[in-house]
Amino acid sequence: MDKIISALLSAEPSKLEVDYRSRELPRDYIEPPFALRLDGVSFGKRLSDLPGPRNWGVHRALVVAASDLGKTLGADIVYVVSDEVNMVFERLAPYRGRVLKLISVLPSLLSSRVSLSLGRPLAFDARAIRLYDEKDVARYILYRARVGLNNYAISMARAKGLLSEATPHIEYVVGALGGVDLSLGWGTLIVRGRRVNLCEFLSSRGLC
């Protein structure tokens, strides 16, 4: 766990945010490799009755639905963290890469599956992000994992009364949490149908 936390803490979310936002695409065509990020809409409000700050039951439902959908659509990588599902297409693009189709149909399909699984109406929006190569794919996953860890660790620390109104640097937050299991903070990674340890995946592409 220390190794993956070290890798996540080495990322710089603000710089990665600027980089990847600049690559979000208008409604045209996109060729692999690219990521499709599906974000839960108002999940905090709609799931407020469940124990948090994140919930393993919700996470498992997202993983099952996303894995099944990814398999159907030919996604090479499915990454679930927090209330978001990232599908990475490295070889083939569904719907011939039509961005409008991707950002409308896929969140609809995922929404219906997760809503049925959890027994409540839930929705996702989506965006497509162009990626350059295998290492950039890993860098994108690292970026989303770091954001996931940030949000989860801070929420956990606040719930435990470890933070005041001001939010300190993430290293302090992780240290203050001590031996707390933070694995829900970086979620679940599935590569071509197989669950893969996040650090092993990042290591295979030179990032952990």
81-123 confidence digits (pLDDT tens): 999 999 999 999 999 999 999 999 999 999 999 999 999 999 9
φ/ψ of 91, rounded to 5, equals -120, -55
Domains of the chain as residue ranges with CATH = 26-203 (3.30.70.3000)
Q: DSSP letters of 46-67?
A: HTTTSSSSS-HHHHHHHHHHHH
User: What do you get for the CA distance between the two ends of the chain, in Å?
Assistant: 12
What is the model's pTM?
Answer: 0.89
Average pLDDT, the chain: 92
Q: Distance (Å, rounded) from C-alpha 75 to C-alpha 58?
A: 22
E-strand ranges in the chain read 34-40, 77-81, 84-89, 124-130, 188-191, 194-196
Q: Distance (Å, rounded) from C-alpha 98 to C-alpha 103?
A: 9
What are the tens digits of pLDDT across the range 18-31?
999 888 877 689 99
In 3D, which of 27, 5, 138 has the Cα closest to residue 76? 138
What are the tens digits of pLDDT across the range 145-183?
999 999 999 888 887 877 777 777 888 888 888 888 899
